[in-house]
Structure 1
Amino acid sequence: MLLTPVGFILFGVFTGLFVTLAMHTDRWLSLPWPLPEGLSWFIAVIFIFVGTGVMAWSALHFLKVKGTPVPFNPPPELVTTGPYRFARNPMLTGVFILLFGIGFAIKSLSLVVFFTPLYILANVSELKAIEEPELVKRFGEAYVAYRQRTPMFIPGMRPRK
C-alpha cells in the first residue's frame, strides 16, 4: 500500500514526459496546427471529458474490491464489472483518449499523430510482456477466459485468437 503513491507518480511522470516531448517537438519543427481553434477546443473538451470519465469509472471498480490500478497494489480478485465488461484495460483507454484531448487542447500535432500513438505502443508492449503474463499467473484460467472474450482496449473489437 505504501508504494501506491510511487506508482501513480511514476505513471504521471512517464505520461507527462510524452506531453513535454511533444510540445518541444512542435516548437523545434515549427509544426502548424491544422484545425481552427474553436473546433480544436470542441474536440479537446469531448476527449478530455470522456477520457477522464472512463478513467474514473474504471478506478471506482478497482476500489470497490479494495485494490488500485497501480501494479504494486492490485485488486485481490479479477475485476470484470463496469467498464471491464467491455475492455480489459479501460483505464488506459481513458488515458489514451485524454492524451488525444490534451493534444487538441494545446494544439500539438506531434502529440496527436506521433507521441500518443507511441505512448499507446509502449503501453501495449508492457501489457503483453509483463502485466498480462502476471495476471495469468495470479488468476489462472479465469483470466485466460476473460482475455479470450474481452478486447484489450476498444469495446466491440474481437480479441485475436
Structure 2
Amino acid sequence: MRPASAIFWSAVFLVIAPGTLAGYIPWAITDWQLGRARPPLTALGGLLIGGGLALLLECFARFALQGRGTPAPVAPPERLVVTGPYRRVRNPMYVAVVAIILGQAALFADVRLLVYALIVWLAFHAFVLLYEEPTLRRAFPEDYEAFTAAVPRWRPRLRPWRAPT
C-alpha cells in the first residue's frame, strides 16, 4: 500500500475503532460529566488519557509509514512492525486504548468505566489469541516467532528489544 493511502485509511480506522471504543462509548456511559474525583485522581486520569492518546497515534503512524498498511484487519501491514513501542510490548495499541478508558474512569470518577475497560481488555485479549497472533504467525513466520519470544504480549519490557538484522 502506498504511504498516502496507508495514512488515510489508518486515520479512518482510528476514528471508527479506537474513536468508538475510547471516545464515543465512554461519553455515552458518562456524558463526560466530571464526578467527585479528587485532584490526584484527575491528574492520573489526564496522564493516562494523554499518554494513551500519544501512544495510540504513534502506533498508527508506524503501521502506515513503516508497515505500509493499517491496523485494520481488512488492510493489514505489508511488513511486521517491531520498532518504537513494539520493542517493549507486543500490543501497544490495545494498551493505549485501555489506558484512555482507564484515564476517563479516573477523570470522571466513574466505576462503570472501570468495568468497561476490563471488558474491552478481555475482548482485545480474545481477539489477539484467536485471530491476530495466528494470522501474524502465518504472514511473518520467522520474524513473528522471534518477536513473540522476546517481547511480552501485555507487560512492557524494561529494556527495549532489538530485532535481529
TM-score by length of 2: 0.76
One-letter amino acid of the structure 2 residue matched with residue 145 of structure 1? A
Conserved 8 A contact 1:18-1:119: no
1:83 is aligned to 2:85 = yes
Conserved 8 A contact 1:100-1:116: yes
2:59 counterpart residue number: 58
Alpha-carbon offset, residue 44 of structure 1: 1.3
Conserved 8 A contact 1:8-1:70: no
Count of residues in correspondence between the two structures: 147
Flag as ranges the 4+ runs of structure 1 deviating above 4 A: 1-4, 14-18
Quick one: distance in 1 between partners of 2:17 and 2:58?
Answer: 21
Alpha-carbon offset, residue 17 of structure 1: 6.6
User: Where in structure 2 are the equivalents of 1:5-44 lying within 5 Å?
Assistant: 5=12, 8-15=15-22, 18-19=25-26, 22-23=29-30, 35-36=37-38, 38-44=39-45
Alpha-carbon offset, residue 154 of structure 1: 2.4
Conserved 8 A contact 2:21-2:97: no
Give the fraction of aligned pairs with identical amino acids, expressed as a percent: 26
Unaligned 5+ runs, structure 2: 159-165
Unaligned 5+ runs, structure 1: 25-31
Cα gap change, 1:11 to 1:108, in 2 (>3 Å): same
Alpha-carbon offset, residue 156 of structure 1: 2.2
Cα gap change, 1:3 to 1:50, in 2 (>3 Å): closer
